[in-house]
Structure 1
């Protein structure tokens, strides 16, 4: 397993160098600064989404689910729509990047914690009920966003569409230090819990019999998931299926359900996929499409494949 991790790390470093260095030109300082910002965003978002998905699948005990089933993406879309309608296109454009980011993260994390705290107050055995409620809330937010989009000004609708789609080209460099630090801290906590997560994956009765404080650990893991998904979504937009693809590849690659190698492999895979994919789109395809769109398409195929093969648990 160690050799595979080393190979993935080397491949990631090579892909990063390939993205950063070729074709810098005379204005190499500006180009390198721009590419460095995007590269940092690709690495942070990839690792955050990968860890969040593995943790959520462990809690849900289901390999075809992602944290986005809780309606976080739909809430993000509704929030963009509500901000544009309430402030207007000019007022929305006047919001500073850090202020907008802080608002989005606060709302997303707050909503997730409210959902977790309310529905899991009687014990973590209510996880299926919590997920079902998240699905219903997601439908509610999307319906509300759709209604508001029909009555808003066309110019405002264009802004909502632009802000709601995932994009690595509009990453705010001033936000990266906070996002990177938050993501690193949460991932460090997740890795520290790896052995307990192995026990948690055995199911509640077994975990409790082995002395694990199951309900408390489930709540902690869901909080970590909420923070990771919130900061990644607020930084670049929703990426619903990236985590599903990475988790589906990481499990057979590691050949184990142990969380320490699984988390490390998933992080490296996600970062490698995003960096290599962005390099391909910018250099070979001339940005004729977007990486998030392809990720969503491939993720949908992976979801169907897992569903048809019955690889749920």
Structure 2
């Protein structure tokens, strides 16, 4: 409060001061808006009636993927009580590649084209959600597992999926493999926009449950024992979190493909910038950072470099560096 003195009276003028998390969210929101405006306007030629729907669908896809990856990573780190793990490290990327390879191996290369897109999208989501539900429930719900076992299980599943993938690739037709190879890497320039409405509806439903459980997430962040002592139904809460994480990861993978370190990158930056572990600040900060990275990065890639490189390669490279730094920091402690 600031006191302003006058001849007869004193006027107390309130002085507003934003907290650090609120200021960070305000700045990130402004940068996200700038990224969106630049993506929609820079280099736009011709009729706006064509440009807005064309770029708008792509923009909505980028925002959805950014939100899904960022939120699922932060929630997964809360569930595991560890900030160097992501859902992709647990073998999600290899499971996605295995699913695509199996379709081509058993049904031919025409299955990627002839299979109904809705059936293909639904199949990917159902398989990945089912796998995640079984794996995460065994790891975290039925009893508390060690971090070493968690990493080991993720590595084992990744190696097993990769071995199956290599086996099928070696005996399949080379022409089919060349076509299939394009689906092995995340592509933010060819997002599947046919199921955008369905994906947004599912993500919106999941987001409603996430908002309702924000206080529970803060308690779970204290660890299993503390959460139970504070009255949280640990098994039910973790099961709900893992189901929501599975849905978000499945949707992002089905739209753009496997993304390994992007979530780790934005989650680590969000924690560093916000300076608090409260999820009502960390989750939107991570989502805004992901939007800035994807939308801003795609704008630079398309307008400056003219598709001379792939955005996923740059993001995964930076995310891998962050992962190594976090591991080295933990080892130093």
- In which range does the TM-score fall when normalised by the shorter chain? over 0.9
What CA distance in whole angstroms lies between the structure 1 residues aligned with 2:138 and 2:277? 31
Provide structure 1 residue ranges, at least 5 long, that are not aligned to the other structure. Answer: none
Contact 2:58-2:191 within 8 A present in 1 as well: yes
For 1:215, the equivalent position in structure 2 comes to 235
Contact 1:120-1:127 within 8 A present in 2 as well: no
- Greater Rg, structure 1 or structure 2? 2
Q: Deviations over 1:222-241 (max 9, x none)?
A: 11111100010011101111
Work out which of the residue numbers 189, 212, 220 in structure 2 matches 1:200.
220
Distance 1:311 1:98, change over 3 A: farther
Q: Deviations over 1:252-295 (max 9, x none)?
A: 11110111101111111111111000001000001011111111
Work out which of the residue numbers 161, 164, 167 in structure 1 matches 2:184.
164
Distance 1:280 1:231, change over 3 A: same
Distance 1:2 1:118, change over 3 A: closer
Contact 1:120-1:130 within 8 A present in 2 as well: no
Size of the aligned set, in residue pairs, is: 312
What CA distance in whole angstroms lies between the structure 2 residues aligned with 1:241 and 1:282? 22
For 2:28, the equivalent position in structure 1 comes to 8
Q: Comparing both structures, which one devotes a greater share of its residues to helix?
A: 1
For 2:308, the equivalent position in structure 1 comes to 288
For 1:268, the equivalent position in structure 2 comes to 288
- Offset, 1:130: 5.1
What CA distance in whole angstroms lies between the structure 2 residues aligned with 1:16 and 1:207? 39
1:173 and 2:180 are equivalent in the alignment: no
Q: Deviations over 1:65-98 (max 9, x none)?
A: 1011221111110010000111211233111222
- Offset, 1:213: 0.9
1:300 and 2:320 are equivalent in the alignment: yes
Distance 1:206 1:119, change over 3 A: closer
Distance 1:61 1:120, change over 3 A: closer
1:126 and 2:145 are equivalent in the alignment: yes
- SS of corresponding position for 1:126: coil
1:37 and 2:40 are equivalent in the alignment: no
Contact 1:191-1:263 within 8 A present in 2 as well: no
Contact 2:42-2:303 within 8 A present in 1 as well: no
- Offset, 1:144: 0.7
Q: Deviations over 1:83-127 (max 9, x none)?
A: 01112112331112222111111111111112234455633x137
For 1:140, the equivalent position in structure 2 comes to 160
- SS of corresponding position for 2:323: helix
Distance 1:148 1:70, change over 3 A: same
What CA distance in whole angstroms lies between the structure 2 residues aligned with 1:312 and 1:40? 41
What CA distance in whole angstroms lies between the structure 2 residues aligned with 1:312 and 1:239? 28
Work out which of the residue numbers 235, 247, 252 in structure 1 matches 2:255.
235
What CA distance in whole angstroms lies between the structure 1 residues aligned with 2:332 and 2:297? 27
- SS of corresponding position for 2:110: helix
- Offset, 1:157: 0.7
Provide structure 2 residue ranges, at least 5 long, that are not aligned to the other structure. Answer: 1-20
TM-score by length of 1: 0.94
CA RMSD in angstroms comes to 1.8
What CA distance in whole angstroms lies between the structure 1 residues aligned with 2:64 and 2:81? 25
- SS of corresponding position for 1:174: coil
For 2:67, the equivalent position in structure 1 comes to 47
For 2:6, the equivalent position in structure 1 comes to none
TM-score by length of 2: 0.89
What CA distance in whole angstroms lies between the structure 1 residues aligned with 2:321 and 2:295? 21
